[in-house]
Every structure is written in structure tokens, then in C-alpha cells.
Structure 1
Amino acid sequence: MIRHRLHFAVLLLLRFCSPAAAITDATDAAALAALKAAVIPSSIPPFSCLASWNFSLAADPCTTFLCGISCSADGRVAAIVLDGAGYSGELPAVISNLSQLHTLDLSNNFFRGTIPHSLAFLSNLRSLVFTSNRFTGPIIPSSFLTNLSSLQTLELSSNSFSGLIPASLSSLSAISILDLSHNRLTGPLPSSLPPNLITLALRGNLLTGIVNRSVFESLVSLEVIDLSGNRFGGEIEGWLLRLPKIQQINLANNSFAKWEVWPAGGRGDELVAVDVGFNLIQGQLPANLAGYPSLVALTVSHNRLRGVIPWQYLGQKNGASFRRLFLDGNFLYGRVPPELIEGGMTGSFGDNCLEGCPLASALCSPRQKPGWICKSVYSGDGRRRQGDTMGV
């Protein structure tokens, strides 16, 4: 929301700071009029941008409209960024006549229907943002894949798009930001993704299958992966944390059962945050995480992890120390070092089988599991010994 407000403010500032714009191209003016006409009048609040679009005989969009559009010096509409005023309606096909449009942002409204195939004719489009609307159907018409070669940002989150993510999406090679979160997308990840991705956000869908190395190994610019809130399973493999530019990984709320962490070995040096909470991960906390120098935030809440908190997290953490450590809801045992409790860290060690975690500390909430549960988990395996501490 903040990003969209800033974008709107920049466009408004350009309106007053740029040289006097030329008279609007007649085709562009007609397309803008068609866009407003396609919006249900009762969904246009007073004092909103669309309410101010006056297409009377004397009005000219590029010289008189105060918000919602930006024009080039030759009178062509270059950007449409509508305010989130609750506009409702379907996009008219004639919007494709805005041939010089590079930005189309309709976020935080109630536009509905499918994305018009005619948008594929907007060959100069660099940013398409339809976040938080009511669009349905496939995420992109197949015709997009050949014509929108300049597209850099595709944000379609919080709609009702459905179906598979097509592998042919990878042909949009200029895309750096792809956000398809909170839709109804199904099936596995495609066999390939746009090669220049920096941010990939697919959270809150119905995606299944595994996270395959072949999909990601060529994404040398990828910084953010968010696959949380889906139905992925299998193993989180060691290569994932060692992608060249990766900074944030969120795989929470899936069904992963195993987590492998390779030694950093000079890779993954920019990794800052990892969230694998609310999965089905068994085994022990990976000690190799301590070797990632920029990793300061780790969440493994509500899995099936056992064993002690690795002593390397405190005694041999490479680079920056952990500042956020959410370990709650597992079966970890041993004594929590006072240095972790008193070091100003944010997180939780609660709902485990740990010792020495004072209830007066917010880090120790909720309470540890009842003793009988911990005993039943560890009885007979020979792994828990009286007096165990971190790494002992």
C-alpha cells in the first residue's frame, strides 16, 4: 500500500513539475474515456481520481487531469495509476489503444473479469499491477507471452486467478518482479521461470509438488523466494540457501518433511532470513546455518525437530549474530544458555522440552511441553541424557 501511494505521489508531482504537456493524442483520450465509462458509476466516490476525469468539450486529459495519469511531452499517455477508491467494472478491450503506456496500476479496487487479451498489444508496457482486485481466469492470456517483451513487473496478487503457472511464462525474460500470491493457482511449479527474476512471490495458493533445483539454478539474480502457504512437500535441499544472490526464503505453512543445509562455503553470503515454520520437518536443527554470515532471522516454529539447540548458533556464528530466533512448537531439549535469553533477541523458545527458560522472559512463552510428552518422545532412543546442554 505504501509503495502504491508513493507511486501515485510521484505521478502527481510529475504533473506539476514537468513542462507543459502537449494536447492529448485523440486515440489515447478516447481510450481513457472508455476506461472511465467501463467503471460502474456508483463505485466512483466523489473526490476520487476517476470522479475528476472530466471529458467535457474543453477538457484535455494530459493538460487538465490532476491525478491518475502521466503523459509524455508529445501528448501520449505513459502511465495510469489509479487510486484505491473501490472502482468496480471490467477493463475495456480498447485500453490496448494506449500504445505508449509503460505503467498500468489498478491495485486495491474491485475490477473483475478476465484480463483482456488486447493488453498484449501494449508492447511498451513495463509494469502491470492488478494487486487486490477481483480478476479471474488464467494469470495471463497466452498472447502475452510473445508481445510483452518489455514487461519488468507483474503483480497480480490477491485476486481469484486459477489454473497452472505456465512454463511459457519464462519467455518474459525482462521480468524481475513476479507476484502471483493469494490466488487459486494449482499444480506444481513450472519447469522454468523468467531468467532475470529478483523477487518471486507465490504465497497463499494451492501449489503442490517439490521445489526442484532445475527450476531455480539458473536464476542468478534471485533475491527473494516466497512459497509460503501452499502444499509443497518432500525435502528442502541444500542448494536453495546457496543461490548466488538469495536474501530471503519463506517456505512456511507447507508440508516439507526434511531440511538439508549445506555448509555456506562462500555461497549464500547475502542470505538474511529463512522461514520454514509450520511444516512437518523432522530431525535436528541444522548446525550449518551458523556458517551463513548475514543470516540473522530464523524461524522453524511448529515442526517436529528434536535434539539440542546447536552450540554453533551462539559460540561459532559466522558474521552477524542471530537477532530473530523462533524455535517454538518443536521437541527441542537441553538447557537454554542465559546469553540467548539476555541478549536482546526477538523470538520464542516456548512449547519445547527445554530447560532453564524462565517464564518471566517473553522468549520463553508459551510454557514448555508437559514432561510426560517429552519423555514419551525421547524414551528408549538413548539420545537425551541427564544434564544435556547446548551441543553437549
Structure 2
Amino acid sequence: MPFMSYLDLRGNHFTGPIEVSNSSLSSSRLEHLLLWYNQFEGQILDTVSKLTTLIDIDLSFLNISYPIDFRVFSSSLKSLLKLDLSGNSISPASLSSDSNIPQSLRYLVLKDCNIGRFPELLNSFQNLEVLDIPKNRIKGKVPEWLWNLPRLSFVKLANNLFDGFEGSAEVLVSSSVNILDLSLNRFEGAMPILSLSIKILGARYNHFTGNIPLSICSRSSSLEVLDLAYNNVTGAIPQCLSNLRVVKLRKNNLEGSLPDMFSVGATLRTLDVGYNQLTGKLPRSLINCSFIKFISVDNNRIEDTFSFWLKASRDLQVLTLSSNRFFGHITPPDQGPLGFPQLRILEVSDNNFTGNLPANYFVNWKAPSLKTNIFGRMYMTDYENGDYADEDTIDLRYKGLHMEQQMALTSYTTIDFSGNKLEGQIPESVGLLKTLIALNLSNNAFTGHIPMSLSNVSKLESLDLSRNQLTGTIPNGLGSLSFLAFIDVSYNQLKGEIPQATQFNGQAESSFEGNAGLCGLPLQESCFHPSVPPMQHPNQEEEEEEEEEEEGVGLNWKGVAIGYAPGVLLGFVIGQVVASYKPEWLVKIIGTNILITR
């Protein structure tokens, strides 16, 4: 195939060697060779290095049994622009500054290659634009020379052991980098001053301290994504963050209130400030964020009523208000259905919400399925358009566990109203939520029956209705929910037999305790009570047998006692009559009749 220029064999799990004749190698015009996730054997790199027209090579996750020597690409691949060796072991010696890799290289991806030192050979790569070296073991400080590479625009150093930067706090200022991912390292101290061209900064899971630097405000015209989650940043949230598309400040020590900072047309998509010490109210200017999809303010000290006004944000998919001081009703003022048609996750647990939920409460909750790519993720790294490869995080109570979950918005459809003061019946309209995976209404004051309509929620995996005042029986239809892995109805007023289906028999006994009327597995209380005649005292039986033997007849001793007194009286009267006539044969006949009558 001498005219082939593009060969994509990714993800096929091919085995064996690649055999190419010398004549084919010499006449090849192949430019793009993509082989990731296969299991080729033999010296595949020798073959690849002879395809001199290649400009794009992807050999990631080939399970090559020997360390790859970078120098195999140095002599012949003069036009190489992209190289991805992720998931393979790299020879440390070949990463030194004298490896003589083609200077034309623009994209270098070395994810999960067990690298322990920063690749010094990159110092001379004046054309390098993308450096993607996450999930290695590189420790120490990021070298100062890296930021001097003139065309460098994307740097991903995530999931290593870096603890700082060489040079001054302004080492990044003159850099051309506009996407920088420092996540999952050990950086500490104050945040560095960002480059003037920065668009995306990911720095979650580090040890940065101090306030959010005001220098960020001077970058607000270019900065789109700021992720400082899981650090130890303190102080207030700057008002200048209003122009950003993604703001993630989860699990820091931020104080004060959320600034009411969003103007009409704001591009904010994600706001996550959970697990801080924020007070005040939700900023009403969030209504100006027409594109917002994700709002999480859980585990703060916000004191406000339910944000019905956010229904104007038609794309809102996740709303998490848990563990704050919200109060009042979560029922719309007009008592109609909840007005969030795109909502997938609603968590308002551990607040002070009160009132009833109308029967049509969930009618408008459509929760359409979202399209994903082959990785099942909504947001992926794209070097061309600069999307940030990170996922939103929620604090989720799921299958009886309390956990923090990193997730794409396609992963869950959940409702958590637990730990409030809600009362009345659970709305039958909950059965309309076809994509619902987890429902938690525990620790409230709901009454009435468990809705039969829950049997229609075919994807339900987790159901927690514990610690309410529910009555009636457990619907048998729940046993048809094939994905239902966790159910807890403990401490209600339920009665009757627990449905004998796999979904119920596999639960812990504690999931049903506290219901005096429930019986059947997995409880110890059986639903069947066979009648057993009362046991008689042995002495009583012996006495009866002795009396029956003495009488010589099958009469009960009580029957004898009843007939004894009248018999004596009648016998005395007849005896007097007989005595006056003395006919012995009559006495015998009358006596016999008396005995028969008795």
C-alpha cells in the first residue's frame, strides 16, 4: 500500500509482530500511525523507526516488554511532530539532554511511563507546544527553563510529586502557556503569578495557602477556568471571578459571602464552592448566568430560602445545597411542579426545609440523557480547543454510603432530601423519573404509603426511606427493579411480609428494623404462626384416666358431677314410693331407666 498516508489500528488488541518488507518501507508515504491499546510483539520500534515519512506516532499502551529508548526516533524521523508513548516504560538514560530527538517535535505525551526525573532533553525543543507528562513519579521543582520555550502553550504535570517552582514567584509571567495543569502534586506556599496569556489553571489537590492572588484579576480577560479545589486557600472570593466559565474552590477555608457579581450574559457554567465557611445568601445575580449547569454550595453556612428563581437557568443540571442553613418550603409558591426541566441531581439534605410535596412535584423533571464520547465522559482534554480535562465533584449519599464522587454529568441522576422536616405523602410523580438512580428521603416526617409508582423507576439502584412515618406494606413491584442494590426502610410503621425477591433477600436485617409489623426474610420474625393445641399438665391427665377406670364408662368427671345431685334427689323420692309397694322387679327396672336417663 505505497499510497497510504493514515493508518489507525487503535483499540483492537492485535497480537504478534508487524512485518513490513524493505521495499514497502522504502516506498512508504505513511504519515500517521496510530496503534494504541494493542499487544504487538517483537521489535516493533525498529520497524516504526524506518517509516521515515511519519509525522504522527501513537504507540501508547502497547504493553511493550522492554523500556523504550528515545534515541530510536532520533536518526531517521526528521519530520516527526507528534509522539505518544504513554503507558510504556521509558529508558531514563534516553531522557537526558543529549538524546538528539528531532527538534521538529511539537506534541509529546508521556503519561504513566514511570518517569522519575524531569526530561532534560526538552530544554532544546524550541518548537514544543504540548507537554503532557501526568501520572509519573517526577519530584522536586519544575525547572525554570521550561517556561522559556517560546511556543509552549499546554503543560500538564498532574499526578506527580512536584513541590514547587525554580526561580521567583514571577517565573511564569512571561511564559506563552495558556493551559496549565498542576493537579495532584505537592505544591505548597502561595500561588505563583500566572502568565498573561493563561486561560485554564488546574491546581486541585495541592497544598497552596494564602489568599486567591489579586493578580488573577488582571488576568480575568483571558482566564476562563480556575480550579483551586482541595487546597488550603483562605480569605474571600474575589469579585473579578465573575468573567470565568468554571470556578472550582471546593474544600478550602474561604470565608465571607459569595459575591453578587454576575452580570447579564455571564458565561459561568460551573460554580463549586462546597466545603468552605461561606455565609450570607446565594447571589441573586446567578440568574444572569444563562449557561450554568452545575452549582454546588454544600457544607457551608449559607442561610437562605430555596432558590426557585434559578429555574430561569434552563440548562441547570446539578444543584447541591446540602448541609447549610436553608429553610422554608421546597415547594414552588404556586404549588405546581418543580421548575427545573434539565435537572439531574438535586441535593438539599441536612437543612431546615419544611412542608409537603404536591403530587405533581416531579412532573417537569425530564432529565434527558446526555451524549458522551467513547470514553463515557462529558469533558475531555482537547489540545486543539483547550477544554479542561477534569470532572465535577459532588458529595453523594449512595447505597448507604457517604462519599465524595468525581463524576461526569452523565453518571448519576439522584435526589437527596434527607435530614429535613418534610412531611405529607411522597409524590406519586416520583415514578416518572425514568433515569433516577438514587433516591434518599430519609430522616424526614413523610407519612402514607410507599408510592406504587416507584416500581416504574427501572434504573433505580439505591432507595433510602428510613426514619419516616410511612405506613402500609412494601410494594411487591419493587422486587422487579433489577438494578436495585440497596434499600433501607428502617424505622417506619410498615407492616406485612417483606417481598421475597433477590433485591430484598440480599439486604441487611438493619434495613428493615424498627417496623413492628414487618415480617419475613431477612428479618428473624416469620410471617407464619401454625396453631399448636395447648399442652395439658401430666398430673391432670393421670387423674382423668384413674376416674374413667373407676366409673367403668367413658363419662367425663365434670359430667358426673353435674348429674349427681338431681339423681340423688329423684332416687330418694322413688325409693319412698317403691318401699310402700315393695315390688322388687319394679325397683330394678326403674333403677335401670334412671341410669340410662342420666
TM-score above 0.5, yes or no: yes
Q: What one-letter code is carried by the residue in structure 2 that aligns with 1:111?
A: F
**What is the alpha-carbon distance in structure 1 between the residues aligned to residue 349 and residue 223 of structure 2?**
33
Call closer, same or farther: CA 1:236–1:203 in 2, change over 3 Å: same
Call closer, same or farther: CA 1:66–1:236 in 2, change over 3 Å: closer
Deviation, structure 1 residue 261: 4.1
Contact 2:179 2:199 survives alignment (8 Å): yes
The counterpart of 2:311, out of the listed 207, 217, 224, is: 217
1:228 matched to which residue of 2? 322
2:451 matched to which residue of 1? 310
Is 2:289 the counterpart of 1:289? no
Call closer, same or farther: CA 1:144–1:306 in 2, change over 3 Å: closer
2:298 matched to which residue of 1? 203
1:132 matched to which residue of 2? 230
1:386 matched to which residue of 2? none
**What is the alpha-carbon distance in structure 2 between the residues aligned to residue 83 and residue 61 of structure 1?**
22
**SS of corresponding position for 2:223:** coil
1:335 matched to which residue of 2? 473
Call closer, same or farther: CA 1:266–1:366 in 2, change over 3 Å: closer
Deviation, structure 1 residue 297: 2.8
- Could you state the TM-score of these two structures normalised by the residue count of structure 1? 0.72
1:112 matched to which residue of 2? 209
Number of residue-to-residue matches in the alignment: 324
Deviation, structure 1 residue 246: 1.1
The counterpart of 1:268, out of the listed 357, 365, 373, is: 365
**SS of corresponding position for 2:306:** coil
The counterpart of 1:155, out of the listed 232, 248, 252, is: 248
**What is the alpha-carbon distance in structure 1 between the residues aligned to residue 452 and residue 346 of structure 2?**
23
1:73-84 equivalences under 5 Å are: 76-84=176-184
**SS of corresponding position for 2:234:** strand
**What is the alpha-carbon distance in structure 2 between the residues aligned to residue 299 and residue 354 of structure 1?**
18
**SS of corresponding position for 1:178:** strand
The counterpart of 1:180, out of the listed 273, 284, 289, is: 273
Deviation, structure 1 residue 99: 1.6
Deviation, structure 1 residue 236: 0.8
Contact 1:335 1:354 survives alignment (8 Å): yes
Call closer, same or farther: CA 1:54–1:328 in 2, change over 3 Å: same
Q: What one-letter code is carried by the residue in structure 1 that aligns with 2:198?
A: L
1:68 matched to which residue of 2? 157
1:88 matched to which residue of 2? 188
Deviation, structure 1 residue 22: 4.3
Contact 2:434 2:458 survives alignment (8 Å): yes
Structure number with bigger Rg:
2
Identity %: 23
Per-residue deviation, residues 309-356 of structure 1 (Å, max 9, x unmatched)? 122333xx4x74644321111111111133324644232122211122
Could you list the runs of 5+ residues in structure 1 that have no partner in the other structure? 1-10, 26-45, 373-392
Per-residue deviation, residues 19-45 of structure 1 (Å, max 9, x unmatched)? x964799xxxxxxxxxxxxxxxxxxxx
**What is the alpha-carbon distance in structure 2 between the residues aligned to residue 265 and residue 279 of structure 1?**
18
**What is the alpha-carbon distance in structure 1 between the residues aligned to residue 492 and residue 290 of structure 2?**
42
**What is the alpha-carbon distance in structure 2 between the residues aligned to residue 367 and residue 343 of structure 1?**
18
Q: What one-letter code is carried by the residue in structure 2 that aligns with 1:352?
A: N
**What is the alpha-carbon distance in structure 2 between the residues aligned to residue 201 and residue 12 of structure 1?**
38
Deviation, structure 1 residue 127: 1.0
**What is the alpha-carbon distance in structure 1 between the residues aligned to residue 282 and residue 143 of structure 2?**
46
2:53 matched to which residue of 1? none
Deviation, structure 1 residue 250: 0.9
**What is the alpha-carbon distance in structure 2 between the residues aligned to residue 321 and residue 188 of structure 1?**
35
The counterpart of 1:300, out of the listed 441, 457, 465, is: 441
**What is the alpha-carbon distance in structure 1 between the residues aligned to residue 362 and residue 351 of structure 2?**
28
Deviation, structure 1 residue 175: 1.2
Deviation, structure 1 residue 370: 5.9
Q: What one-letter code is carried by the residue in structure 2 that aligns with 1:88?
A: E
Deviation, structure 1 residue 77: 0.9
Per-residue deviation, residues 109-148 of structure 1 (Å, max 9, x unmatched)? 1111111111112121111000000111112x23444xxx
Q: What one-letter code is carried by the residue in structure 1 that aligns with 2:298?
A: R
The counterpart of 2:491, out of the listed 348, 351, 356, is: 351
Contact 1:280 1:303 survives alignment (8 Å): yes
Deviation, structure 1 residue 91: 2.0
**What is the alpha-carbon distance in structure 1 between the residues aligned to residue 425 and residue 446 of structure 2?**
5
1:357-368 equivalences under 5 Å are: 357=498, 360-362=505-507, 365-368=510-513
Deviation, structure 1 residue 248: 1.2
Call closer, same or farther: CA 1:295–1:16 in 2, change over 3 Å: same
Contact 2:416 2:440 survives alignment (8 Å): yes
Call closer, same or farther: CA 1:23–1:339 in 2, change over 3 Å: closer
1:253 matched to which residue of 2? 350
**What is the alpha-carbon distance in structure 1 between the residues aligned to residue 349 and residue 248 of structure 2?**
21
**What is the alpha-carbon distance in structure 2 between the residues aligned to residue 209 and residue 290 of structure 1?**
30
Contact 2:423 2:445 survives alignment (8 Å): yes
Q: Which 10-residue stretch deviates more, 255-264 or 220-229?
A: 255-264
Aligned-residue Cα RMSD (Å) equals 3.6
Deviation, structure 1 residue 251: 0.9
- Could you state the TM-score of these two structures normalised by the residue count of structure 2? 0.48
Contact 1:299 1:327 survives alignment (8 Å): yes
Deviation, structure 1 residue 275: 1.0
**What is the alpha-carbon distance in structure 1 between the residues aligned to residue 462 and residue 493 of structure 2?**
20
**What is the alpha-carbon distance in structure 1 between the residues aligned to residue 433 and residue 206 of structure 2?**
42
Q: What one-letter code is carried by the residue in structure 2 that aligns with 1:53?
A: V
Deviation, structure 1 residue 153: 0.9
Contact 2:337 2:364 survives alignment (8 Å): no
Per-residue deviation, residues 237-259 of structure 1 (Å, max 9, x unmatched)? 24674313111111111111124
Is 2:144 the counterpart of 1:55? yes
Deviation, structure 1 residue 107: 0.8
More RCO (CA 8 Å, sep 6+)? 1
**SS of corresponding position for 1:365:** helix
